[in-house]
Amino acid sequence: MKIALIIHRLSRSGAPKIMVWLAGHLAQKGHDTSLISVFDCSDPLPAPPGARLIELNVKQSKNPVVRKTLGLFAAEKRLLGALGELEPDVCLTFMDTAGLLLLLLKRFYGFKVFCSERADPDRRGALSAFLRKRLTELSDGIVFQTEGAKNRFAGRRLPAHTVIPNPVCVSPVRKQAGPGPLVWAGRFENQQKRMDVLLTAFSMVLKTFPDERLIMYGDGPDLQKTRALAQSLGIAGSVDFPGFENSLQQKLALAGVFVMSSDFEGIPNTLAEAMAAGLPCAVTDCSPGGARVL
């Protein structure tokens, strides 16, 4: 079977990591697998063995109006061109915008398009939620990560659908004995990850345990704001920002506790990996229930 997997960009974050793993798994099973990354990425994940990587490298304007109009049109045109050459039997999108818009056009091109909801569709604004749910009705099938996410689509005329949680797609390194720092890992995007909540809570912890340390791995648009918040809370000397970590499993093995403060998630990959390593975890009960599932 010819399968095309479509991702917004191959950034080093949760959804792209799972899609790379899935592409490699499908290729290993003997399917003709193509992994399409729509937008440009300065430090992309490597393609898995056996899968064809197609990088469209569409540039995104810093102007939000241009990005959501002309920029999106250019991305969709280039995506359709790539799919026209591939002629896949099945397309899978993780419900990024370019992939969702493909649902409006699939009947004209003969594509079968399946979707996967990766977080909470109601947490990106009312208009976004309405469009995502309405477009999903046009798909050939949908995969949810949790029952809570599926329940967000109650009352919609959904196609065939199922719930499949994320796998742990790395080899966990078992936690080493003894104390260690608190560890957080993810994309610095405060609207979802709520690093402000974490740092405020950590400032309270330091009043009782002044020698405790918090290490925050990753990068993202709100990294500098998070650094500034640590400074304003007077805890900058107890918080480290080492950047993105390629060998996160090794770092988790040295940690004392994994922490996560998100408002919403799908199935959090880093939480699953920390638990697989035997690491104690202190996390928020994020919508729509991914942490609770684990």
Supply the pLDDT for residue 255.
94
Residue pLDDT tens, the chain, 294 long? 999 999 999 988 888 999 999 999 999 999 999 999 999 988 888 889 999 999 999 998 888 888 888 888 889 999 999 999 999 999 999 988 888 888 988 888 888 999 999 888 888 788 888 888 999 999 999 999 999 999 999 989 999 999 999 888 887 788 777 789 999 999 999 999 999 999 999 999 999 999 999 999 999 999 999 999 999 999 999 999 999 888 888 899 999 999 999 999 999 999 999 999 899 999 999 999 989 988
Supply the pLDDT for residue 174.
81
pTM over 0.85: yes
Lookup: tokens for 9: 């960009």
Between CA 137 and CA 146, with CA 143 as vertex, the angle to 5 degrees is 115
Lookup: tokens for 90: 């099945």
Give the phi and the psi of residue 179 in degrees, each rounded to 5. -75, 165
Biggest CA pair distance of the chain: 63
Which residue reads 């939620």 in tokens? 129
Supply the pLDDT for residue 62.
85
201: closest CA among 238, 242, 158?
238
Task: Give me the helices (H) in the chain, please.
Answer: 14-28, 64-68, 70-86, 97-109, 126-136, 147-151, 190-193, 195-208, 223-232, 248-254, 269-276, 290-293
Q: Distance between CA atoms of 168 and 271, rounded to whole angstroms?
A: 10
Q: Which residues contact 163 (CB under 8 A, 6 or more apart)?
A: 143, 144, 145, 146, 147, 149, 150
Supply the pLDDT for residue 210.
96
Supply the pLDDT for residue 111.
87
Q: Distance between CA atoms of 151 and 134, rounded to whole angstroms?
A: 15
Strand residue runs (E) in 152-268: 161-163, 182-185, 214-217, 239-243, 257-260
Supply the pLDDT for residue 288.
93
Q: How many CB atoms lie within 10 A of CB 108?
A: 8
Lookup: tokens for 225: 């704001």
